[in-house]
Each structure stands twice: as structure tokens, then as C-alpha cells.
Amino acid sequence: MNKTNPTATCKRLLYISFCLLSGLSVSAQDEAPAPIAPLPTKHQVAWQQMETYAFIHFGPNTFQDREWGYGDAPLDCFNPTKLDCEQWARTLKAAGMNGVIITAKHHDGFCLWPSKYTDYCVRNTPWYASRTARAGASGGEEGMMKGDIVGELAAACKKYGLKMGVYLSPWDRHQAFYGTPLYVEYFYAQLEELMTRYGELFEVWFDGANGGDGYYGGAREQREIDRRTYYDFPRAHRMVFKHQPQAIIFSDGGPGCRWVGNEKGYAFPTNWSFLRINDVYPGYAHFEELQSGHADGDTWVASECDVSIRPGWFYHESEDDRVKTPEYLTDLYYRSVGHNGTLLLNFPVDRDGLIHPNDSMNAVAFHQRIQAELKENLLAKGATVSASDTRGNAFSTKALTDDNYDTYWATHDGITSATLTFTFKRATLVNRLALQEYIPLGQRVKAFTVEYLDGKQWQPLDVGEETTTIGYKRLLRFHTISTKAIRVSITEARGPLCLNAVGAYYAAGAEATYKADTRNYDQQKLLR
């Protein structure tokens, strides 16, 4: 039983008539489909392929039980006696994280590296004194790293194969000159230190929280700046790209990747990797738009879903028993990576300077669970695929299950809807599906449906959320079905279709965990 999608068939017939009338031959197209703008850079594609990476929030707040330090914490509070960046790196690796971004400077202005430009940094803490005494004055690489937490993390990342990124808060509640032109120069001097000292960085984070009350060298007052102009962000972008051309710059509106509009770790199921770039600025208030992107956007700025493994970004002992469970984190994975975003999972390093065992236990169990749920693509061995349209041999349906990112199935020019039918050798249990568009050629799919063969009848598959965009990756969960065939129909797209992967999985013991209108998912409770 292999019905084809009537709309796709119609379009194909129209296309054939057009070719006959215009004297063109109806041949297989061997050349690749033309890209459809906006397009990602190769660095944006590589960044999206990382899928999951970690955040580390650490600083005086950790010792003062604060989330937003006022900028007045005494330097002697900072003494993580067991600090071990290799423990972080090992833990993050085991939790499936492919990189880590550290709060080199948070809003309190304290620097985790010994900055030339301020005394308000690790250099003047008890930790530094004991660290450097232990390390000795050996010079060389060890000498460069000693007493430098950003440096120690960079070395640990290198050792354990993680990419590294930095968070440099534009807002600084410590410096007396915050709000004046001098602070902007200070900000750039620090940015240059970070861009030049620690090797290759995959991401640079500029937070949207900017200006307000603070210590400001003892003034203890309110200071407002114009978020759109004060920092001259285009200058920051130039500086980053000069030293770190591959780095993805995060902010509310990119340019590398965008905030997803909530701090809860998920994107909406409809999620375009585009923004109308001139409409979005630091502190952009239309959170809802960031969660879905702009369908008519002119620039590629994919979404990053940030969330902490605990309620707070920084460590609080009172939250030791409020660490997100492996089940919760798994749910977030499907709503972030599976909704065309990346997952940036925060680990609040504790007062010893370590990732707390409750956090590492749950994070590692989360990773193992994802690996188990999506272990075996049942379409790769046990199924045949037929497509209502295929561009040419170079773009055959084989590409969908060959595990090669750069091969893809494509349709002819003019064909923007098509049906893929996967037929199993025998009835098979399935409860997860994965779809991927070949994003180097753009994000195209606007709507699709999924059906399964129930006896002799095609039934719609209830995946509990709208089936609209796909993008880099779309993951679908549903109650376990036993079926002989699955049919994916792309019903609307911005151009010919280019899909590089389709997967069907059976997550044993993990029934679909939700069935809700995700548009209402905690929307009322957005932080910020």
C-alpha cells in the first residue's frame, strides 16, 4: 500500500507539462538544488552540529549565595579550595557535552582570569595565593595557567576534547566608571585579553541584562545606559572575528546565534533559524518571537536554548535537592535539539570548586538515556524507502539513512511537496522519529504530516505538537506503535526539498512523555 501525496503528484505533473511545453527534457537533475537564503556560514553549521554543550556559572556569587552580585563582594570570599577544572571537563564529557562556556566575568564585574585591567579578579583572592604557591614559579604553559581559572579550563578542555567559549558580561556592577566612555574601552581591553589568551573559542556570550543598580566603586546607585548604542557591539563583533573567526557570537539577536526567548531550555516546535536582523537589538522584548524565529527573516541566527540544571544559575546549597532529573532533561533535549535549537545546559560549580555529585549523576544519566532512546535507526537496516519525487541519482533516498551529513535526498526544482514512505520488513515497534534538513542549502520545510500503517489503513500519527518546521533537526515522540510502514509527507516548503536524514527509533520503556500544546508550555512563567 503506497499512496502518493496528491499535491506532490499534481505538482510533478504540472512540472512535466511545463517541461514538455517549453521543450525541456524531463530528466534527472544532477546538479544540486540552488541554495535558498538566508544561509548559515560553515561555522554556524558546525556549531549547530555540537547540539549539546555546557555553561559554567562560578564566581563570588557562589560564595555569597547570590544570583546577581551587586559588585561589592569582598575578594577574600573567593576560595574554592578543591577547584579542579579537569573534574568539570570529565563530568561534562560523560554528560554528552561537546563544549563549555564559562562566565569569565558576570554582572558583578569579578574576573575569573587575572586581568591586566582590574584588581577585581582572581589575582587578589586567597585561592590565587594558594594556587600559585602550589604551582611554583615554573613559567611555561603551566605558569601561564596558574591562578587563572579561564586558563585552567582551556587546558582541561584541550585534554578532554571539549570546545571552549566565554561569557563576558557587558554590564559591570563593580566598576566606578561604568556608564562612561572609559568603561567601554575597559570592556574592549578585556575582550581582547579573552580573545587572544586561550586558544580557539567556539562561542562568545554577550548577555542581554545591562544597566541598573550596582556598587559602581562605592557610588551604590542606579545607572542606565542605552543598550543599543553604549557598547558599540559592531566593534565587539569585529574584534571577536579578528582573533576568533570561527566563534559564534551569542546575544538576543546574534549575529551568530540567538537567545531563544526563555531561560527554560526549549524552543517552540515551529522554529525558524532566521531573524529580521534589523528588528532585534540587545534587550529585545518580544520573547515569543525569539522562540520561533522570524519565518520571513533575512539573516541566519539559529536559537540556543539555555537552562540551568538547578533553579539558579549559581550554586546554592539550598538547591542541592532541586537538580533537574534525567527525565526532565531528556524532555528538554527533545524540545531544544529536537526543535531546531542547541541545548546550553548550565552547571553551577559549588563552593569547593567542583561540579556537585547530584548534578553530575543526573546529567550523565540524562546523556545515557538519550543515547539509549535514539540508539538504533530502525530505517537503516530493516526498511525500504520510496519517494514521490527524486531529483537524480546523486540525491537518492539512500542518503536519508547513510549517516553521512553531506549527502541528501532532494526533489526536482519546482517540487516543494513530496512523500517519503518507509516500509519495514515486518511489523516494528516505533515511538520516536528524527527528521533533518540539509541546512547548508537553507531551511525550507514549512509543514509536514506523519502517518503510519495501521493494518491496511493509514492513520495520522499523534505527536502532540504542530508539525511545521524541521530545520537542522526535528525529533518527534509518540506512543509506541507497531507498524509495517511510516509515511512522511512534506506539504509546504520554500523550495525543493533537501533532507539528509530520517530516523525511526524505539525507546524501550520510555513511552511518549507528553502530549500538550507546547505553545503554552510554561509560557506564563518566563524568567527575565
Residues forming the site for ligand FUL (CB under 6 A): 67-68, 207-209, 306, 313
Task: Output the CA torsion sign for 245, 247, 251, 252.
Answer: positive
CB of 67 to ligand FUL, least distance (A): 6
Residue 67 or 413 with smaller CB distance to ligand FUL: 67
User: Which amino acid appears at position 214 of this protein?
Assistant: G
CB of 307 to ligand FUL, least distance (A): 9
User: Which amino acid appears at position 100 of this protein?
Assistant: V
Residue 152 or 252 with smaller CB distance to ligand FUL: 252
Interatomic CA distance for residues 168 and 521, integer angstroms: 30
Interatomic CA distance for residues 90 and 116, integer angstroms: 30
CB of 96 to ligand FUL, least distance (A): 20
CB of 313 to ligand FUL, least distance (A): 4
Virtual torsion, Cα 90, 94, 98, 99, nearest 10 deg:
-30
CB of 361 to ligand FUL, least distance (A): 23
Q: Tell me which residue has cell 537552562.
A: 307
CB of 275 to ligand FUL, least distance (A): 18
Residue 208 or 392 with smaller CB distance to ligand FUL: 208
Query: 417 to each of 286, 389, 443, how far by Cα in Å?
Result: 32, 9, 14
DSSP state, residue 311: S
Q: Read off the C-alpha cell for 359.
A: 548534578
Interatomic CA distance for residues 364 and 93, integer angstroms: 9
**Angle between the N-to-C axes of helices 233-243 and 181-197, in degrees from 0 to 180, rounded to the nearest 10:** 20
Interatomic CA distance for residues 154 and 197, integer angstroms: 10
Pairing of strands 474-493, 445-454: antiparallel
Residue 257 or 439 with smaller CB distance to ligand FUL: 257
Interatomic CA distance for residues 476 and 450, integer angstroms: 10
Residue 36 or 209 with smaller CB distance to ligand FUL: 209
CB of 306 to ligand FUL, least distance (A): 5
CB of 109 to ligand FUL, least distance (A): 13
Residue 209 or 364 with smaller CB distance to ligand FUL: 209
Q: Which residue is nearest to ligand FUL (CB)?
A: 209
Show Cβ contacts of residue 226 under 8 Å, excluding neighbours closer than 6 positions.
none
CB of 458 to ligand FUL, least distance (A): 45
Residue 105 or 163 with smaller CB distance to ligand FUL: 105
Nearest to 483 by CA among 441, 453, 513, 505: 453
Interatomic CA distance for residues 186 and 456, integer angstroms: 70
Residue 343 or 497 with smaller CB distance to ligand FUL: 343
Residue 248 or 399 with smaller CB distance to ligand FUL: 248
> Is residue 394 exposed (0-12), middle (13-18) or buried (19+ Cβ within 10 Å)?
middle
